Amino acid sequence: MRSLVICFISILCLACSQNQNSLTYFGGGIVNPKDDFVLLMKQNEIIDSISVDNKGHFSYQFNLKKPDLFTFKHGYEYQMVYIEPKDSIMLRLNTLDFDESLVFGGTSAVENNFLIENYLLNQKNSELILSYYKISPQDFQFKTDSIKTSRENRLSKLKEKHNLSDEFVTIAQKSIDFEFYDMRERYAFLMNKYNQKKAKNIANDFYSYRKKIDFQNQNTSNLFGYQRFLDNYLKNLSIEQCQKNHDSKDCYNLNTYNNLDQRISLVDSLIHDKNLRKRYLERFIQEEIIYAETKKHLKHTSKLIEKYNFSEVEKKRLNSLVNFQSSLIVNADLKNVKIRSQDFKKHVLEDVMKKNLSVIYSWSVQSPSHHKLRIKKIKELKAKYPKIQFIGINIDHNFPDKWLDAVNKYNSNLDNEFMIVAEEHAPFYRNYLNKVFFLNKDCIIQKSEIILSNVDFDKHIEDFIASQ
């Protein structure tokens, strides 16, 4: 550990001595590196790929005209970094504990360490929200006001001790504001969904912050807190719109075609930042395709793909997904879907179903935690519904050995475990890991919009059995 610290300080001194010109320096040291590069990004666009040497060190120099918030990514992890022109900034982290181990040195170190500390505090609040929602709206308002005041006091003390730029203070204040807004949005969702009696006591000024939000401010679009708030804000607005029109409990099902279509309309009207707008439109349109239940739905979504300014490559991908989803909607025939058994022989789904009512779910060795939860759930369902054949289809056609290892490790029912055969649309299966398909004895889809974690899953199965 001592040698790592000395190495970090040495690189930092070298960086500062090198950066006497107009260039901005960004570098650091990574313990247990996962890749041989670090990506430096701004608004989801890659600025450059920076090489990481065999000791975990990387360095990069570039021209920067004004202070800005960037994202750096290594492996599957990413985090923010605030950089000012002519900075010499270094970071150090351990990939085994990415966020918690991250520390900055050099110029703008104070600013970045404040942001990462604030981020970690926000993460803790995210875990507390599940207990906070049980308290009264008045107590919750008091708690969130106190959290916001505490964060702002920390920022004020930092301003007193250091010469912080106006740009950074604005970004820091926004990160505090959006954490506060996000906690209110998540609380409101949980209360309205699970405790409507208490929800009626939410004061009229609970959402007063909504009137202050500037959706055109590009400086906040890179903030993780802003993006998380935006997710929850759009979710709540779509529910509110649904309730005005339908007054239905189904309004809280966020994976319906109608809910996703409402969120697409909200993004269209609210978000003006080009990159953020594109990101949300792509995401919601893709989800709308996946949860489409009819050809009419898919036809509408195809028009949206043409309406928005996607690249030709993205249009082609989304339209291909539309074509794929058309083969997975209600009344679609899955008889000839090709799969492999553990001996790697090819079969079609009709043969392995053997004229049984079936529930088909997919899984991946690359999502082990999700798969463990599925195993437990499927085991319970098999015991409760012996008339149903539960069939697991693994999507990792490139890793057959890992699939077999996982099947044996988790003691799955080998007679009902298969792997998808790689075909043109095989990459799209990853988008369907949360969905479950209910098939009748003739291999025809009866339900396709259900997810395994749905609280009413048992009722869906019972309705399915009763309808056959």
Instruction: Give the residue, 255 or 105, on which the prediction is more confident.
Output: 105
pLDDT of 17 > 60? The answer is no
pLDDT of 11 > 90? The answer is no
From 11-20, 136-145, 328-337, the region with the lowest mean pLDDT: 11-20
> Could you give the CA distance from residue 452 to residue 35 in angstroms, rounded to a whole number?
34
Average pLDDT of 422-430? 81
pLDDT of 7 > 60? The answer is no
Q: What is the pLDDT of residues 183-215, one digit of tens each?
A: 999 999 988 888 888 888 888 889 999 998 888
Three-state secondary-structure class, residue 406: helix
As beta bridge partners, residue 49 has 39
pTM attached to this predicted model: 0.82
Which pLDDT value is given to residue 176? Answer: 94
pLDDT of 410 > 90? The answer is no
Which pLDDT value is given to residue 433? Answer: 86
Which pLDDT value is given to residue 312? Answer: 94
Which pLDDT value is given to residue 21? Answer: 65
> Could you give the CA distance from residue 275 to residue 131 in angstroms, rounded to a whole number?
35
Q: What is the pLDDT of residues 230-270, one digit of tens each?
A: 999 999 999 999 988 876 667 888 888 999 999 999 999 99
2 pLDDT band, cuts 50/70/90, is very low
The yes-or-no answer to whether 2-105 and 338-467 have a common fold is: no
Contacts of residue 460, defined as CB under 8 A and 6 or more positions apart, other chains included, come to: 438, 447, 450, 454
Domain covering 2-105, topology: Immunoglobulin-like (2.60.40)
Contacts of residue 103, defined as CB under 8 A and 6 or more positions apart, other chains included, come to: 91, 92, 93, 113, 116
Yes or no: domain 338-467 corresponds to CATH 3.40.30.10: yes
4 pLDDT band, cuts 50/70/90, is very low
pLDDT of 54 > 70? The answer is yes
> Could you give the CA distance from residue 279 to residue 276 in angstroms, rounded to a whole number?
5
Per-domain residue ranges of the chain: 2-105, 108-212, 338-467
Contacts of residue 53, defined as CB under 8 A and 6 or more positions apart, other chains included, come to: none
